[in-house]
Amino acid sequence: MDQHCWLCFVFFHEMFAEVLLTYCTYCYTSPAQSAPMQSRTCRTNRLRLTEAPLYSYVKGKPAISDPRFFDRLKWNGSNHTEDLQDGSIVILNVTFNDTGTYKCIFKRTLKYSNFEFQTSSNKTVVVKVVPKFTRGLASILSEVMMYVSIVGLQVWLVIEMVYCYRKISAAGEEALRESAAEYLAVAPESKDPVAGVQVAE
């Protein structure tokens, strides 16, 4: 691969206005390539009446288009690199007015020695702001089952330890009793030959 090309990706917020969206793709040359080449292409698409540009990120420089989001959008994606892999954005100080549908347009061009390969991906995220964070039923049940499993495994472990301890103790006591019985059985037999010896006259 001779050249990596990037980029811009833009978020949109619902807004009743007709706008033109311009997105740009910037191509940069790999340091190992002997003949540096750069190209930049821009395209303009007409959006639906309910979409307006919100945010763009081009060549490491973010730009906020909507004044409602000034000082409230933070780039949380790849930093200090030309080959961006993560394009995350964080909305700070969220309000109820931030409820809406956001769309991300992600474009990339890979330039090889004999051809170019372009990829495009659109992601739509529906944001609903609620007064208080609520957890789903599946999340709550998963957490409850996790704690139940942990407690159950600990109880089972304690029962197994007590059972093994009692079994080992019983085996040890049985071995001691068998040893004592063998010792008592051997001791009288060792005295019989001495008792049978008669003193010579």
| Structure confidence by residue, pLDDT tens digits, 127-186 | 888 887 777 788 889 999 999 999 999 999 999 999 999 888 888 877 777 777 776 666
Q: What are phi and psi of 9, to 5 degrees?
A: -130, 145
Instruction: Identify the pLDDT of residue 49.
Output: 44
SS3 19: coil
Domain 3-127 in CATH 2.60.40.1930? The answer is no
Q: Look at residues 64, 105, 99 and name the one whose alpha carbon lies nearest to residue 87.
A: 105
The encoded tokens of residue 160 equal: 């197994």
Dihedral, 71, 73, 78, 79 alpha carbons, nearest 10: 0
Q: Look at residues 51, 55, 50, 1 and name the one whose alpha carbon lies nearest to residue 23.
A: 55
Buried b (16+ CB within 10 A) or exposed e, 20-30: ebebbbbbbbe
Q: What is the pLDDT of residues 95-104, one digit of tens each?
A: 888 888 888 8
